[in-house]
Every structure is written in C-alpha cells, then in structure tokens.
C-alpha cells in the first residue's frame, strides 16, 4: 500500500460551484483556558493588565481573566472548521474581515464558532465566498458576529 500526502484530506474537497448560500459550517467548541490566554499574550505582545492581572480585574468587577477581542476572534479561523478542508486546494486567500464584539469572554468560557455562506460571487477564474461569522458561549450568548470573505479558484 502506498501513501500520497497530496490525497490526505479530512473532508472531500468541493469545487466553488458546489457550495450554496445558506450552508452552515461549525468549528469544534473550545474552552478559553489559561494556556490560551498565555499563548495569545506571547503571540500578540499585549500585556495590558485587563487581560492578565486578576487583582486588577477584580478591582474593576470582572470575575476572571478577560479575553482580548482578537483572542476571541481567532476562534473563528476557518481552518479549524470543515469548511476550509472542503475548500481544499481551491482556497487562495483571506480577503476581508469585520467583526463586532457583543459580550465579554472570560477564562473558562467555551466558545462555539459557526460560519454561514451568505454570498458566492463568481468571476472568470476565481470566486469570492462571503460568510456570516458567529461565536456563541456556553450560555448561548452571542459574543461575536461578523463577516469574512475568501478568494477561491473556480
């Protein structure tokens, strides 16, 4: 038996024309642990005490470490969802992102990202997929909503 890494996909790839407006893709849930806070602080260089100093947070009425907006938003990376794998080799790049942060996210919260295709715009050799992005917490509170656009080959 031979192995070809080029065929090692977790989901069958789909061409642009096979995607439909209204399809929803979900990423696995992820709990915001102290490790995620530490990794984000290391990667971003953000060292404001509102994200990492429990005494500072307690004095301001926060019950736990308070996630940076980008720390929450990275949970909406499509690579963690089946969608990116179904895009396969057609995925060229990430074009655009907008987001609104609607509720706080704290250490210990579990987040549930979802992506809904809202538009598919076909060009001559490429197409743009637009997604509505939502992230809810374990209490069903919508903490982030936004939009992403991706460029794909046809």
Q: Count of alpha carbons within 13 Å of 56, Cβ hemisphere only?
A: 9
pLDDT given for residue 7 in this prediction: 82
Specify the 3-state DSSP secondary structure of 28. coil
Say if residues 133 and 100 touch (Cβ distance below 8 Å). no
Tokens coding 103: 């509720």
Boundaries of domain holding 71: 11-153
Q: How high is the pLDDT of residue 29?
A: 97
Whole-structure pTM value = 0.92
State residue 43's pLDDT score: 95
Tokens of 17: 């024309």
Could you tell me if residue 59 is inside a domain? Answer: yes
In this prediction, residue 10 carries a pLDDT of 85
Assess if residue 22 is contained within a domain: yes
Q: How does pLDDT run along the chain (154 residues), one tens digit per residue?
A: 899 988 888 888 999 999 999 999 999 999 999 999 999 999 999 999 999 999 999 999 999 999 999 999 999 999 999 999 999 999 999 999 999 999 999 999 999 999 999 999 999 999 999 999 999 999 999 999 999 999 999 9
CATH value at residue 96: 3.10.129.10
3-state secondary structure of 30: strand
* Cα-to-chain-centroid distance, residue 118: 16
Report yes or no: 64 and 106 within 8 Å, Cβ to Cβ.
yes
Q: Residue 125 domain-assigned? A: yes
CB 42 within 8 A of CB 56: no
Q: Answer yes or no: is 66 within a domain.
A: yes
Distances (CA, A) of 100 to 19, 144, 149: 26, 6, 16
3 assigned to some structural domain: no
Is residue 5, in this structure, part of any structural domain at all? Answer: no
What integer pLDDT is reported at residue 141 of this predicted model?
Answer: 98
């Amino acid at each position: 038996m031979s192995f070809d890494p080029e065929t090692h996909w977790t989901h069958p790839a789909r061409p642009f024309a096979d995607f439909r407006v209204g399809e929803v893709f979900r990423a696995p849930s992820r709990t915001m642990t102290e490790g995620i806070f530490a990794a984000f602080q290391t990667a971003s260089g953000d060292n404001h005490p509102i994200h990492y100093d429990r005494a500072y947070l307690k004095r301001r009425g926060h019950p736990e470490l308070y996630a940076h907006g980008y720390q929450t938003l990275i949970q909406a990376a499509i690579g963690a969802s089946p969608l990116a794998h179904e895009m396969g080799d057609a995925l060229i790049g990430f074009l655009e992102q907008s987001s609104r942060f609607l509720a706080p996210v704290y250490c210990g919260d579990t987040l549930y990202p979802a992506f809904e295709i809202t538009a598919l715009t076909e060009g001559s050799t490429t197409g743009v997929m637009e997604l509505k992005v939502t992230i809810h917490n374990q209490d069903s509170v919508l903490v982030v909503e936004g939009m992403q656009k991706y460029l794909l080959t046809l």
